[in-house]
């Protein structure tokens, strides 16, 4: 909510000091919004379908079985294709922790969740182009795996 107030106050101050500049600012805001809204709507549509097909809470529960390294990669892949706001993801991570899932797997999941955006690809590509978006997300994926492994080493779960 603070976001809303800050915007309101700044807009008001801007309006007091220079009307035509404020008008221009609102026009820019409108144009930028229109530029991105189709990709945006398509992303939300995919997310709404995906969340119906795969309820994430269940998928991640299954990650506790099977080979460890495979599970880390799987958790990273699930995190990459999922979109979840932080206020849902971290309580979920807390629940997973309490149900005995290792820090390594949780880190692989939450870090890719934050850093890699498969569903936001069309939006990012609209600004950066497909190639750069692909490079950036692939790099982020690798960084997330490194983070997960180092967290695993720190907590003594991954033994070198």
> What is the per-residue burial (b if ≥16 Cβ within 10 Å, else e) of 131-150?
eebeeebeebbeebbebbbe
Q: Tell whether residue 48 is a contact of another protein (CB under 8 A).
A: yes
Collapsing DSSP to helix, strand or coil, 82 comes out as coil
Residues 61-80 that bind another protein (CB under 8 A): none
Q: Tell whether residue 140 is a contact of another protein (CB under 8 A).
A: yes
Collapsing DSSP to helix, strand or coil, 27 comes out as helix
CA separation for the pair 118, 82 (Å, rounded): 8
Among 21, 61, 62, 68, binds another protein (CB under 8 A): 21
Paired tokens of 70: 């495979």
Which residues contact another protein (rule: CB under 8 A)?
3-4, 6-7, 10-11, 14, 21-22, 24-30, 32-33, 35-36, 38-42, 44-45, 47-49, 51-52, 85-87, 90-91, 93-94, 97, 103, 106-107, 110-111, 114-115, 117, 120, 123-124, 126-129, 132, 135-136, 139-140, 143-144, 146-147, 150-151, 154
């Amino acid at each position: 909510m603070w976001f809303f107030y800050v915007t309101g106050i700044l807009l008001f101050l801007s309006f007091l000091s220079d009307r035509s500049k404020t008008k221009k600012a609102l026009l820019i805001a409108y144009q930028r919004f229109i530029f991105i809204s189709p990709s945006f709507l398509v992303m939300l549509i995919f997310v709404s379908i995906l969340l119906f097909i795969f309820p994430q809470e269940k998928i991640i529960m299954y990650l506790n079985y099977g080979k460890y390294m495979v599970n880390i990669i799987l958790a990273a892949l699930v995190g990459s294709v999922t979109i979840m706001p932080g206020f849902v993801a971290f309580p979920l991570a807390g629940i997973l922790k309490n149900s005995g899932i290792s820090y390594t797997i949780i880190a692989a999941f939450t870090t890719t969740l934050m850093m890699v955006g498969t569903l936001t690809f069309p939006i990012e590509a609209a600004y950066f182009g497909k190639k750069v978006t692909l490079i950036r997300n692939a790099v982020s994926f690798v960084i997330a795996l490194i983070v997960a492994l180092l967290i695993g080493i720190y907590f003594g779960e991954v033994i070198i």
